[in-house]
Amino acid sequence: MGQGNVKWIGRKGSLFKKNLMITQMKVRGLMIDPHNSSYVVLLQCEESQEVLPIWVGKPEASAISCALEGLSSPRPMTHDLMKTLVDSVDAKVLSASITDLRNNTYYAKVHIAYGNSFFAIDSRPSDAIAFALRAEAPIFVSEDVIQKHDDEEVDRWLENLKPEDFGKYEV
């Protein structure tokens, strides 16, 4: 797992090496779970097309969707503030990584470089993703999480999706 391991910083290509046990994923989109009207962020591995759905709250979904669509609000939103805070002292957001899945809860970390040190800060995946998108930092998912993720459950969920569920969310 990449946590605490800073060797890969700045060398994006090397991140795909399987021995590091993390996979870079992109935010493919946001959608509404038709079963309970909650919001889902779809992460997708560009190489394997593997998809990881992560359920998030409405405010965080809105924060992610603003970043995806490149919308900026007249006043800084909470995740914009995070970025301003980091930028103001010349710290750098290196990545967001989804590190664990326990009891149906995903855990994430935000990796920041400041001065000569590196920091891994515990976060919800939703905040980490919203933050990473604004900082244009890569998003990684540990292989462990992908394995733990119950394929059967996703398949069942995907089977129930209708095409019109895509793109149906409010900013």
Partner 1 sequence: MIRLKVHGVLDDPNTENHVVVLRKEEGFEVLPIWVGSVEGHAIRLALEGVVPPRPASHDLLRDIARNIGLVVTRVVVTDINENTYYASIYIKANDSEYSIDARPSDAIAFALRVPCPIYATGDVMKHRAGETLDVWLKRLDSHNFGKESMRFNCDENPSRSA
Sequence-distant (≥ 6) Cβ neighbours of residue 115 within 8 angstroms: none
Contact between 56 and partner 1 by CB under 8 A: the answer reads no
Candidate residues 11, 13, 35, 89; the one interacting with partner 1 per rule CB under 8 A: 89
Contact between 91 and partner 1 by CB under 8 A: the answer reads yes
Task: Measure the CA–CA gap between 10 and 7, rounded to whole angstroms.
Answer: 9
Candidate residues 31, 67, 94, 112; the one interacting with partner 1 per rule CB under 8 A: 112
Candidate residues 49, 88, 104, 116; the one interacting with partner 1 per rule CB under 8 A: 88
Q: What is the DSSP letter of 166?
A: B
Between 119 and 166, whose beta carbon lies closer to partner 1?
119
Candidate residues 11, 75, 102, 162; the one interacting with partner 1 per rule CB under 8 A: 75
- Strand, coil or helix: 76: coil
Q: How far is the CB of 110 from partner 1 (least distance, A)?
A: 7
Contact between 105 and partner 1 by CB under 8 A: the answer reads yes
Element (H, E) at 122: strand 117-123
Contact between 110 and partner 1 by CB under 8 A: the answer reads yes
Contact between 76 and partner 1 by CB under 8 A: the answer reads yes
Q: How far is CA 105 from CA 98, 100, 153, in A?
A: 11, 8, 15
Can you read off the two tokens belonging to residue 133? 């998108």
Can you read off the two tokens belonging to residue 165? 């569920």
Q: How far is CA 158 from CA 26, 31, 169, in A?
A: 19, 12, 17
Site residues, partner 1 (CB under 8 A)? 59-60, 63, 75-79, 81-82, 84-86, 88-89, 91, 105, 107, 110, 112, 114-115, 117, 119, 121-124, 127, 131
